[in-house]
């Protein structure tokens, strides 16, 4: 579980023309949306301008089920930014849609996390201008 050191501003995700819709859906709809190819229906994340399966430029945004499992994780014992208090984990969640997303847990300590752990989406309103997708344990 990430705890923020309030003495420092936490780092912000980088946004560009391809990733801005992802962040806008989180902020405005309070939900996780993934990019999907309108031609072959392959899901993609991180967002990109072209389908990596069929090379189509025709993309659409669809809501995620919010469910996934921990594919991998790491525990930081030294902060990469002073805005984070250690230790904290960074998880790689494999979503039901098949894409993987980097995130943090909200309800457990690093020692409680394991590969294959079922998780579900939590919308974390970190600041007025920043909403992040995070995860909590899911009962199966
Ligand atoms: Zn495609």
Query: CA torsion, points 38, 42, 47, 49, in degrees to nearest 10?
Result: -50
Flag whether the pTM goes above 0.85. yes
Distance (angstroms) between ligand 1 centre and the Cα of 37 equals 5
Structure tokens given for 57: 């430029």
Distance (angstroms) between ligand 1 centre and the Cα of 44 equals 9
* Pairwise pLDDT comparison (15 vs 115), residue with the higher score: 115
pLDDT of 10 > 80? The answer is no
pLDDT digits (tens, 9 = 90+) for 58-117: 999 999 999 999 999 999 999 888 888 999 999 999 999 999 999 999 999 999 999 999
Residue 83: CB partners within 8 Å, gap ≥ 6? 4, 5, 8, 9, 10, 11
In this prediction, residue 55 carries a pLDDT of 98
- Distance of alpha carbon 102 from alpha carbon 61, whole angstroms: 19
């Amino acid at each position: 579980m990430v705890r923020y050191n309030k003495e420092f501003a936490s780092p912000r995700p980088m946004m560009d023309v391809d990733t801005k819709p992802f962040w806008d859906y989180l902020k405005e709809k309070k939900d996780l949306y993934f990019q999907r190819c309108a031609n072959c229906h392959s899901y993609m994340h991180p967002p990109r301008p072209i389908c990596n399966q069929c090379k189509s430029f025709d993309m659409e945004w669809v809501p995620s089920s919010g469910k996934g499992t921990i594919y991998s994780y790491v525990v930081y014992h030294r902060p990469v930014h002073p805005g984070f208090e250690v230790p904290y984990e960074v998880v790689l969640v494999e979503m039901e849609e098949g894409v993987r997303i980097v995130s943090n847990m909200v309800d457990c300590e690093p020692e409680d996390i394991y590969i294959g752990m079922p998780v579900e989406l939590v919308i974390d309103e970190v600041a007025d201008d920043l909403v992040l997708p995070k995860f909590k344990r899911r009962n199966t």
